[in-house]
Amino acid sequence: MTTNLTSDRVALITGGSGGIGRVAAEKLAATGDAVALLFSGNQQRADEAVAAISQVGGRATTIRADIADETQMAAAFDQVEQEFGGIDVVVNTAGIMLLSPVAQLDLADLDRMHRTNIRGTFVVSQLAARRLRSGGALINFSTSVTRLQTPGYAAYAASKAAVEAVTLILARELQGRDITVNTVAPGPTATPLFLEGKPQELIERIAGMNPMGRLGTAEDIAEAVAFLAGPAGRWTNGQTLFVNGGVA
**Set 39, 141, 156, 194: catalytic member:** 156
Please give the C-alpha separations between residue 230 and each of 32, 218, 223, in angstroms, as whole numbers: 11, 18, 11
Rounded to whole angstroms, the Cα distance separating 102 from 110 reads 10
Angle CA(24)–CA(29)–CA(31) in degrees, nearest 5? 105
Helix (H) or strand (E) holding 107: helix 107-113
**Per-position b or e across 65-87, b if 16+ CB within 10 A of its CB:** bbbbbbebbbebbebbbeebeeb
Rounded to whole angstroms, the Cα distance separating 164 from 42 reads 28
Is 156 catalytic? The answer is yes
Q: How many CB atoms lie within 10 A of CB 32?
A: 16
- The residues that are catalytic are 156
